[in-house]
């Protein structure tokens, strides 16, 4: 039997980041139930279209067409909402994306009447087999962490404004 190559059955990558926000958990949850808010917290992304039914519900399908630097081509993300748990979570799974697999959990935790915690938990498999795994380890995972950190900072600013 030939030796097993190290990248033949890659395990999904995991990113989990949290931020505390001074706003009621209900406000943060409502914001995340409308994917049309994504441009407000996504610096460097040019959204061409966001199609779906809002607020999000279990089983809803949403399609986003966008351009994100440094990628020169238009990207289409189509995802199915796996779960909407009022004031606790929104979970989406990509049906079409640049990744082989993508699952994003938006978790909301009340910390008091006017304070909450937002946690993004993303599990994904990069495309392109072993080359994608190497690219993920060298570049992609770090870039995704930075992207979600920025999104959380923008979300915090926006939610704490009024």
DSSP string across 58-116: TT-EEEEEEEETT--S-EEEEEEEEEEETTTEEEEEEEESSSSEEEEEEEEEEEETTEE
pLDDT in tens, 23-70: 999 999 999 999 999 999 998 899 999 999 999 999 999 999 999 877
Q: How confident is the model at residue 140 (pLDDT cuts 50, 70, 90)?
A: confident
Question: Does pLDDT of 134 surpass 80?
Answer: no
**CATH number given to 14-161:** 3.30.530.20
What integer best gives the mean pLDDT of the chain? 92
Query: How is the chain split into domains, by residue range?
Result: 14-161
Predicted local confidence at residue 136, as pLDDT: 74
Closest CA to 82 of 100, 113, 104: 104
Dist. CA 61–CA 140, nearest whole Å: 26
Dist. CA 56–CA 8, nearest whole Å: 36
The answer to whether 67 touches 48, Cβ cutoff 8 Å, is yes
**pTM (2 decimals)?**
0.90
């Amino acid at each position: 039997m030939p030796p097993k190559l190290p990248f033949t059955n890659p395990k999904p990558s995991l990113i989990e980041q949290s931020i505390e926000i001074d706003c009621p958990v209900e406000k943060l949850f409502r914001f995340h139930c409308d994917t049309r808010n994504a441009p407000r917290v996504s610096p460097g992304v040019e959204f061409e279209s966001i199609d779906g039914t809002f607020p999000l519900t279990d089983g809803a399908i949403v399609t986003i067409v966008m351009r994100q630097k440094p990628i020169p081509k238009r990207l289409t993300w189509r995802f199915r909402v796996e779960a909407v748990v009022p004031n606790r979570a929104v979970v989406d799974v990509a049906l079409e994306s640049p990744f082989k697999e993508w699952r994003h959990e938006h978790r909301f935790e009340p910390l008091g009447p006017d304070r909450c915690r937002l946690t993004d938990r993303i599990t994904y498999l990069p495309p392109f087999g072993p080359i994608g795994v190497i690219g993920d380890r060298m570049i992609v995972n770090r870039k995704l962490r930075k992207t979600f950190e920025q999104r959380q900072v923008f979300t915090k600013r926006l939610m704490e404004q009024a």
